[in-house]
């Protein structure tokens, strides 16, 4: 087998796509509509939060960060996916493949870190309400948002550099998008450093955010069980969208992990494709819907924004 260095690989072949012929245009339209819906809903809520000063509170600023990450993650998936659906030969240039790996892996890590910070914010609001304003200062918020974004970007930049240095024996990836794990599996050279750093990266990006999530909800649960009916209702209203988002993303990551690490030959190809795309598409689509519907302030701000737009149009006409 001829060895080729990953820096000289011109392209990777994505072999998991179904040959749908004329149906490819139908699938293209579905995916395009989903992408437009994701962009529109997330951009709308980002604009609502930025424009309304009443929403310049810690919870909504963290939500804004979450919506920005949904746009970031979908940008790493949808443009490549739309091109592949209409392509007869499912290939992706090596630099774009590595770029997609960076986008999607950092998206997942930022998402989990964002959800961890939001759980801490809910813990302070419910369990220590009198200290909320003194604890969640502007400096603390800026620090938490930097913690959400900077470590994942730095961590997965190192992951990508470790992958680029490998010597590969092939360029076929059994997937609908580029996965770092599959690229590393093509290596003919020693991957022990990649494996050790991958374990370290998993601890940093999964276990570290998991600790504040478990701690926060343990404390919130104790308050809910011992508090009044009003306290329980407030906790449920503020935590349900976050818990739904957390569970949805966890299931998506579980599907992605199972498909990457284990042989899924017994599962139909169509279902494998849906499972692999779940963690980006469903999360990016459901988050703005869940938070937009469940949080009264955002719902009212959206209504006000649309009513003002209608009044301006009536005035102009």
Mean pLDDT by 10 residues, the chain (317 residues): 54 79 82 94 91 87 95 94 86 92 94 94 90 92 95 93 89 88 89 90 87 91 79 76 87 74 63 77 88 74 67 51
Say how far apart CA 210 and CA 215 lie, in whole Å. Answer: 9
Say how far apart CA 256 and CA 260 lie, in whole Å. Answer: 6
Say how far apart CA 242 and CA 122 lie, in whole Å. Answer: 9
Alpha helix (H) residue ranges in the chain? 23-51, 58-86, 94-127, 132-135, 138-164, 180-185, 192-202, 208-226, 229-261, 269-294, 296-316
How crowded is the C-beta side of 156, counted as CA atoms within 13 Å? 22
Please, are residues 148 and 155 in contact by the beta-carbon 8 Å criterion?
no
Q: Is the pTM of this model over 0.95?
A: no
pLDDT recorded at residue 7: 47
pLDDT recorded at residue 311: 54
pLDDT recorded at residue 155: 92
The overall longest dimension of the chain from CA atoms, in Å, is: 72
Alpha helix (H) residue ranges in 5-93? 23-51, 58-86
Topology of domain 4-316, CATH: Rhopdopsin 7-helix transmembrane proteins (1.20.1070)
Smallest CA-to-CA distance from 276 within 94, 26, 84, 96 is with 84
């Amino acid at each position: 087998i001829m060895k080729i260095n990953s820096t000289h690989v011109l392209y990777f072949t994505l072999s998991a796509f179904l040959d749908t012929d004329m149906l490819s245009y139908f699938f293209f339209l579905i995916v395009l509509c989903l992408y437009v819906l994701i962009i529109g809903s997330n951009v709308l809520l980002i604009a609502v939060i930025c424009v309304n000063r009443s929403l310049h509170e810690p919870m909504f600023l963290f939500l804004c960060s979450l919506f920005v990450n949904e746009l970031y993650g979908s940008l790493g998936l949808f443009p490549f996916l739309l091109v592949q659906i209409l392509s007869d030969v499912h290939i992706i240039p090596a630099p774009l493949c590595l770029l997609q790996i960076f986008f999607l892996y950092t998206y997942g890590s930022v998402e989990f870190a964002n959800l961890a910070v939001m759980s801490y914010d809910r813990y302070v609001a419910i369990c220590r309400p009198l200290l909320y304003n003194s604890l969640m200062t502007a400096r603390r918020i800026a620090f938490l948002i930097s913690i959400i974004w900077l470590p994942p970007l730095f961590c997965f930049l190192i992951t990508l550099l470790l992958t680029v240095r490998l010597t590969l024996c092939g360029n076929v990836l059994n997937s609908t998008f580029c996965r770092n794990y599959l690229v590393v599996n093509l290596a003919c050279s020693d991957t022990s450093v990649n494996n050790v750093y991958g374990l370290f990266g998993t601890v940093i990006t999964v276990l570290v955010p998991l600790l504040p999530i478990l701690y926060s909800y343990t404390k919130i649960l104790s308050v809910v069980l011992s508090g009044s009916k009003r306290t329980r209702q407030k906790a449920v209203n503020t935590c349900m969208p976050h818990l739904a988002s957390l569970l949805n993303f966890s299931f998506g990551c579980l599907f992605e992990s199972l498909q990457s690490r284990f042989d899924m030959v017994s599962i139909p190809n169509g279902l494998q494709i849906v499972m692999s795309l779940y963690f980006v598409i469903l999360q990016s689509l459901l988050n703005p819907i869940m938070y937009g519907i469940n949080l009264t302030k955002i719902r009212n701000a959206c209504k006000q924004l649309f009513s003002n737009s209608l009044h301006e149009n009536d005035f102009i006409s």
